[in-house]
Amino acid sequence: MKTLTHFIDGKPVAGISGRDGPVFDPATGEIQARVPFANAAELHVAVAAATKAFPAWSAVNPQRRARVMFNFKALVERDMESLARLMSSEHGKVVADSKGDIQRGLEVVEFACGIPHLTKGEYTEGAGPGIDVYAIRQPLGVVAGITPFNFPAMIPMWMFAVAVACGNCFILKPSEKDPSVPLRLAELMMEAGAPPGVLQVIHGDKEIVDAILDDPDIAAVSFVGSSTIAEYVYAKGAASGKRVQAMGGAKNHAIVMPDADLDACVNELMGAGYGSAGERCMAVSVVVPVGEKTADALVKKLKMRVDGLKVGLPTDAEAAYGPLVTGAHRAKVLDYIAMGVTEGAELVVDGRGFKMQGYEKGFFLGPSLFDRVTPEMRTYREEIFGPVLQVARAKDFDEALALPSKHQYGNGVAIFTRDGDAAREFASRVNVGMVGINVPIPVPLAYYSFGGWKRSAFGDINQHGPDGVRFYTKLKTITARWPKGPRDSDFIMPTMR
């Protein structure tokens, strides 16, 4: 069994806290590695290395920082196959999905390659008599990211690519469930030309999260995870004077209008609902057909497709999805399915009996489908985060619109329709941060920003895109005058007259 390390000051560093945790092989259920859990003293070493590296790195001109990002992109693409297989071995998602995880992260790296343009600033000549005004963006210093298990490459790259390109030094605390890919990304960043201390990886649990939030030398923290922890991270980090963005949970709805192409819709819902075993913050977890006729037809088609989904090993190219990340998470999803039955929802497809032959101890779970779910049910109110799709019927457009709008989460929503007027009205009125029109997973492209509303996000600046640059920089505005000679004293409020 291998023992993983931290990555501090450009090199692997063994843990010294005496605490660690298991990294499972989700297909077999066996422990394949141990990951060290850092303490505050180990974090201080990483912060010291980042603090030392910051002055020189922030002084590197943006074009040369962009070259490092270009190099990093090329190295990740070179190692795409090995990174994807490494990810699948710890997370459980199929290899093709792991490649998609990496690619969506690389798209933000590509965006960060444009950092010379993104941080150009503004300049006004002659804003007043002999006065010029200009604004510049400068890096914050040492910043940190705390990332979830479900996207071990994409979300770290969403964070550190923009932060590092802006001239910051970044400390990454990845999920302890699948930490190997983040470690490898840090090594590749060094190979790309980033100096030691610019990107570091520290593993751990709540103890190290609290240490990050308390450390006075860390200027900003970005977080993605459950809403309960996101709220905690936001409150604790803000109380210690940090800039914080904390993305939380989701309950993403897909509205299906009577005029929608149901066959095309079902095709989309299969991947959106069951891809990566439903372990995506933007997965569609609730389908809302409008009208009983639409609902009956849709559920019938969904059942046929769900019954035919293939669950398999992460290396199986024909599998729709693989095992869940851990046995504990599988047990949590099973509890939600049992709860749904108890609450009175109709279990159309029951995936609880699925076993993978030869891998009976793996964390596999078949796809489940519920019908006649109502807003009062706890399984509707909470995020299940597994291969479970719920159908909540609506009698008309307004009732369908109200479901995602009133839900505690507001990450993503989609509407399937051929009616442009209905789609436009829905997009305008729905109380959700990201909207898809005939697009089930409306994750914005890298040059836009990602972020939900309500309990799906804490903080007012979103991930990547223009908001990413704003989050990892501070604005400085300079007003300059070069007088030709002495000026009289002026005791009134200065204006630009």
| Of 213, 148, 153, 141, nearest in space to 186 by CA | 153
Please pick, among 113, 166, 265, 281, the residue that the annotation labels catalytic: 281
Distance CA 36, CA 6 (A): 7
Residue type present at position 102: I
103 phi/psi in degrees, rounded to 5: -65, -40
Q: In sequence order, which ranges of 79-153 are alpha helices (DSSP H)?
A: 80-91, 95-112, 115-118
Distance CA 392, CA 343 (A): 14
Neighbours of 119 (CB within 10 A): 19
CA 269 to chain centroid? 20
Distance CA 359, CA 92 (A): 13
In the 8-state DSSP scheme, what is residue 348?
E
Is position 113 annotated as part of the catalytic site?
A: no
Distance CA 144, CA 474 (A): 16
Residue 35: strand, helix, or coil? strand
Both tokens of 150, joined, read 């479900």
Residue 166: strand, helix, or coil? coil
Catalytic positions, written as ranges: 281
